[in-house]
Structure 1
Amino acid sequence: MAVDATSGVGSSTSTSTSSSAKKATLNYDNFLQLLIAQMKNQDPTDPMKASEQVAQLATFSQVEQTVQTNTKLDTLLASSSLTQASSYVGKYMESADGTVKGTIESVKVYSDGIIATTTDGGNILVQAGITVADKAPTTTTTSDSSDT
């Protein structure tokens, strides 16, 4: 069974996700530094209310949690794609437009999709409309026999 997981053309989900997480963490750290600087330099006659500070902190915590959730979802989707891809090897597949068909020899998983390669060397993009079966359909020919 040959399953290959690579990043897609022009995009890399894991790289962009990790850089987004780093940016969010950096912004969160910057926010804490700004909050401390704001507290040190605030007007003593009109100080910032504690509830405003807590609200700001809560907002940035929510953003950080959302980025972490998205990272975990991306990992889960990638794992699901690999599991799905391995189930195609050895199966008969026909492309959505019917131009490419055959038994699947290998599967390549990209960040933006799955491409199955047949034993004849044809490539099929796994998408809505494909036909997947355990084996190639048998074609039966009916002979026209008349008793005349």
Structure 2
Amino acid sequence: MTVTSATSAPPAPAPQSDTKRSNMVDYDSFLKLLVTQMKNQDPTKPMESTDYIAQLATFSQVEQTVQTNSKIDQLMQVSLLGQADAIIGRTVASADGAISGKVAEVRIGSAGLVAVLADGTEFPVEAGMTIS
């Protein structure tokens, strides 16, 4: 027996930034899976209430994890800003010693901090570099 939905699908959500979209994929997928499971359950064998409660608890955990990840991302940005402020005006040298100079500015990119020296040279701030 084929059962069709009596309601139309909800409208698509507004586009989000790549960071939020990657965080929300698991959350949205879980919610869609739960709703689909509830819609398609066998009416002669309904879901046990304990199973339903367990799924709702899992849903809540997924939601809290997404929110926690968002807060951690914000803390990482604050930490990067503190690190950037600490090296502006100081002399830095790359781990191999090939690049060195006074830091004029620092940019925060997707890979982390990028130091811009007074002569315009750019290089990533990473382990092994010397700051004096």
Instruction: Decide: shared fold, TM above 0.5.
Output: yes
Which of the pair has the greater relative contact order for Cα pairs under 8 Å at 6+ separation? 1
- For residue 107 of structure 1, give the secondary structure of its aligned residue in structure 2: strand
Query: Where does residue 10 of structure 1 map in the other structure?
Result: none
TM-score between the two structures when normalised by the length of structure 1: 0.67
Which structure has the bigger radius of gyration? 1
Deviation at residue 120 of structure 1 after TM alignment? 2.1
- For residue 98 of structure 1, give the secondary structure of its aligned residue in structure 2: coil
Query: Where does residue 105 of structure 2 map in the other structure?
Result: 106
Deviation per CA, 1:32-54, whole angstroms, max 9, x where unpaired?
A: 53365356x521xx432110111
Deviation at residue 72 of structure 1 after TM alignment? 1.4
The alignment of Structure 1 onto Structure 2 pairs a total of residues equal to: 117
Asked if the contact 1:93/1:102 (under 8 Å) is kept, the reply is yes
Query: Where does residue 145 of structure 1 map in the other structure?
Result: none
Query: Where does residue 138 of structure 1 map in the other structure?
Result: none
Distance in structure 1 (CA, Å) of the matches to 2:30 and 2:131: 47
Instruction: State the AA in 1 paired with 2:107.
Output: K
Deviates more, 1:19-28 or 1:105-114: 19-28
CA RMSD of aligned residues (A): 2.3
Query: Where does residue 92 of structure 2 map in the other structure?
Result: 93
**Match runs of 1:95-134 below 5 Å:** 95-133=94-132
Asked if the contact 1:113/1:125 (under 8 Å) is kept, the reply is yes
Q: Is 2:31 the counterpart of 1:33?
A: no
Deviation per CA, 1:56-103, whole angstroms, max 9, x where unpaired?
A: 111122122112211211121122112211221101111111011111
Query: Where does residue 6 of structure 2 map in the other structure?
Result: none
Query: Where does residue 139 of structure 1 map in the other structure?
Result: none
Query: Where does residue 43 of structure 2 map in the other structure?
Result: 42
- For residue 17 of structure 2, give the secondary structure of its aligned residue in structure 1: helix
Unaligned 5+ segments in structure 2 are 1-15
Unaligned 5+ segments in structure 1 are 1-13, 134-148
Question: Percent identity of the aligned residues?
Answer: 38
